[in-house]
Amino acid sequence: MARRPAVTGPAADPAGLYRTVALIRGFEQRAVELVRTGVIRGGIHPCTGQEAVAVGTCAALRPDDVITSTHRGHGHVLAKGADPARMMAELAGRTTGLNKGRGGSMHAADFSVGVLGADAIVGAAVPIATGAAWAMRRAGGDRVALAYFGDGAVSQGVVLEAFNLAALWQVPVVLVCENNGFATSMRPEQTMAGTVTGRAAAFGIPAETVDGMDPQAVLDAATAAVARARSGAGPYLLECVTRRFDAHHTWEHTARPRYRTDAEVAAARSRDPLDIQGARIPAATRAAIDAETAGVLDEAVRFALAGPHPDPAGALDHLYSTGLRPRAGVL
Amino acid sequence: MPWLSYLKALNRAIGDEMERDPAVCVLGEDVGVAVTYATAGLLQRFGGDRVLDTPISEQAFTGFATGAAMAGMRPLIEFQIPALLFLVFEQIANQAHKLSLMTGGQTRVPVTYLLPGSGSRDSWAGQHSDHPYSLFAHVGVKTVVPATASDAYGLLVTAMRDDDPVVVFAPSGALGLREDVDFGALAPVPLGAGRVHRAGTDVTVVAVGHLVHDAVAVAEELAGSVSVEVFDPRSLHPFDWQGLAASLERTGRLVVVDDSNRSCGIGAEIVATAAEEMRLTAPPRRVTRPDGAVLPFARDLDLACQPTRAQLRAAVEKSVGAG
């Protein structure tokens, strides 16, 4: 099995933030193409447009901090430092993937850089991150956990229960709501009574709303939230107001449900984190980063496609940590 | 020799493991005062950062335990009633159980879920009387149902040392049992190793949990006319299929008594596997709860849904007669 060196998470300087936004954007463009050509099966949930949240928050974390992610998790996983080539191989279902092809887009995990995994059940990872944060604090040190979830998740009971535990036990967890304005097709005004920050207020968790299209604004807010959690002062909630430019899921490219107007999409695209952060660095630097990123991603696709498909005989490898072998379906 | 109660065995197993391994912690509702007794004295011995009284938030603290386990702890969760497992099925079956495979083996989730009081509790009605072990065996979560005090100790210790999620069902019908046992002889019992409580040559009765004691009683009633072997699988997933096959080599006849619903219950799986793969000289039989049963409140109605010794005896006699 090819083991590639881990790539570090996003640098917190303006060029570093831009580089990670560009990496995620380019990664997803290539991944969408691979879905269309049938290399990636099952489809993906692109986070195109939302990169600033992943980049700004992960730039505030240390390599030994951990995150849990969502079904729309490519940006989080890459921003935390996972190797884009092994990530692409995972999406393509190869043994060289982060999860050896067992997880795919919605479950990408890389424990070597603190990615405990993306979770496909809305809100389900929030208590998991809370428990991990509690255990890390018990073990000593000052590591924190960060849980991503969407605006749809704040109506999940388990998320609110986790807020209660986090606040009650002053757990070092940073709660990051990516409010992208749509729970699949449903707008917050259709799904949410009250507000995201109001949910936090009910549990005594400090919260703020930030511009989730601006990597620097997210970084500034996340730096304070992470420092607070690290100091032992308990959880903090960041509501990052952002927009996804693409579909909920690549299946939407086929089914084409209509739930937002062209004008809304155009308005969202007019505030592109790539341009917002790109404007903060010299044009030559931006061009150099773009070229470098294209090379990294070309290599990622090459690496992914070169990876072997898993042996069907090993379909249930890793089902049990203890190596218990399940009975076959046909004897 | 001293008498060990089943509940004390559970309590002793948790205490011994907490003593042995500082990563073991206990989470649950009212575990501090130990309303079920299973956690008695643990808060005083190990303190509030290892014995955590939780809010009434089963879904959150079950997911919380998953995260804590992924970060190095070995949590045991106590649920006061088995129906709470329906509430947290997502957190166990869809999260804790799946994470090892989905991550390609990057993590393990050593959480133990303890149900001290599963099954009918004698008129606690519809939402307090389920015995849902078949559901967990079906989805592949390691599932344990000890019948005796020493097995309760040994299987719970093993569950807590296991690197995968394990659900331990302590049947309410067994909680009051006591066993004459040397405490020094208490030892871990491996998962997937059945136990023959009584040897026999005519028919194998596979009994789950507290029904082992009913099966032994029926075997004694029939001694002289029918030689009954009583096989207790002890863990339902993994299941000791080799042990069952060896027993059926001796007897060739099978009756399963299982306090779960008939359709898709573990009894159905035992019968199906025996029919496919093992030596049977007579049609296998099952004694179970009715299909889709919800236990009613009135005592006579509650009892009417549970497998009885009379039903088991009749099934054994039919099995032998058909041979």
Residue A331: DSSP 8-state? -
Question: Residue A5 pLDDT more than 50?
Answer: no
Question: Residue A1 pLDDT more than 50?
Answer: no
Question: Does A165 contact B70 at a Cβ distance shorter than 8 Å?
Answer: no
pLDDT of residue A79: 98
Q: Which of B46, B64, B160, B269 to mutate to test the interface with A (most CBs of A within 10 A)?
A: B64
The shortest C-alpha distance from B177 to chain A (Å) reads 32
Any bridge partners for residue B180, and if so which? B3
Question: Does A132 contact B71 at a Cβ distance shorter than 8 Å?
Answer: yes
Q: Which of A325, A321, A305, A304 is nearest to A313 (CA)?
A: A325
Residue B315 contacts residue B285 (beta carbons within 8 Å): yes
Question: To the nearest whole percent, how much of chain A has pLDDT over 90?
Answer: 94
Size (chain B), residues: 323
Q: Which residues of A touch B59 (CB under 8 A)?
A: 127, 157-158, 161
Q: Which residues of B touch A173 (CB under 8 A)?
A: none
The shortest C-alpha distance from A262 to chain B (Å) reads 37
The stretch A249-254 carries a mean pLDDT of: 89
pLDDT of residue A201: 98
Residue where the block lists tokens 């596979």: B206
pLDDT of residue B191: 98
Choosing from B128, B197, B210, B213, which is the catalytic residue?
B128
Q: What is the pLDDT of residues A45-96, one digit of tens each?
A: 999 999 999 999 999 999 999 999 999 999 999 999 999 999 999 999 999 9
Facing B72 at nearest CB: one of A121, A139, A320? A139
Given CB atoms, is A216 within the 8 Å cutoff of chain B?
Answer: no
Residue A9's pLDDT band (boundaries 50, 70, 90)?
Answer: low
- Say how far residue A219 (Cα) sits from the centre of its chain: 15
Conformation bin of residue A247: beta by default, left when phi > 0, alpha when psi is -120 to 50: beta
Facing B68 at nearest CB: one of A97, A107, A134? A134
Q: Which residues of A touch B142 (CB under 8 A)?
A: 320, 324
Question: Residue A2 pLDDT more than 50?
Answer: no
Give pLDDT < 50 ranges for chain B: 323
Residue A6's pLDDT band (boundaries 50, 70, 90)?
Answer: very low
Q: What is the pLDDT of residues B101-154, one digit of tens each?
A: 999 999 999 999 999 999 998 889 999 999 999 999 999 999 999 999 999 999
Facing A132 at nearest CB: one of B68, B91, B105? B68
pTM of the complete model: 0.96
Active site residue B128: yes
Question: Residue A34 pLDDT more than 60?
Answer: yes
Q: What is the pLDDT of residues A153-197, one digit of tens each?
A: 999 999 999 999 999 999 999 999 999 999 999 999 999 999 999
Q: Which of B89, B102, B112, B239 to mutate to test the interface with A (most CBs of A within 10 A)?
A: B102
Q: If 0-12 CB within 10 Å is exposed, 13-18 middle and 19+ buried, where does residue B47 land?
A: exposed
pLDDT of residue A10: 76
Q: Could you tell me which residue, A5 or B118, shows the higher pLDDT?
A: B118
Given CB atoms, is A166 within the 8 Å cutoff of chain B?
Answer: no
Residue A331's pLDDT band (boundaries 50, 70, 90)?
Answer: confident
Q: Which residues of B touch A128 (CB under 8 A)?
A: 63-64, 66-67, 70, 95
Please report the ipTM that was assigned to this predicted complex: 0.95
Q: Which residues of A touch B107 (CB under 8 A)?
A: 109, 111, 116-117
Question: Does A138 contact B65 at a Cβ distance shorter than 8 Å?
Answer: no
SS3 B286: strand
Q: Which ranges of chain A would DSSP assign to H, the alpha helix?
A: 14-36, 51-58, 74-79, 84-91, 125-138, 157-168, 188-191, 196-202, 215-230, 252-255, 262-269, 273-278, 283-306
Residue A3's pLDDT band (boundaries 50, 70, 90)?
Answer: very low
Determine the longest span between alpha carbons in chain B, in angstroms: 60
pLDDT of residue A8: 56
**Residues whose CB falls within 8 Å of the CB of residue A319, separated by 6 or more in sequence, listed in order:** A326, B100, B101, B140
Question: Does B100 contact A319 at a Cβ distance shorter than 8 Å?
Answer: yes
The shortest C-alpha distance from B238 to chain A (Å) reads 8
Residue A45: how many CA atoms within 13 Å on its side-chain side? 22
SS3 B6: helix
The stretch A22-44 carries a mean pLDDT of: 97
The stretch A287-301 carries a mean pLDDT of: 97
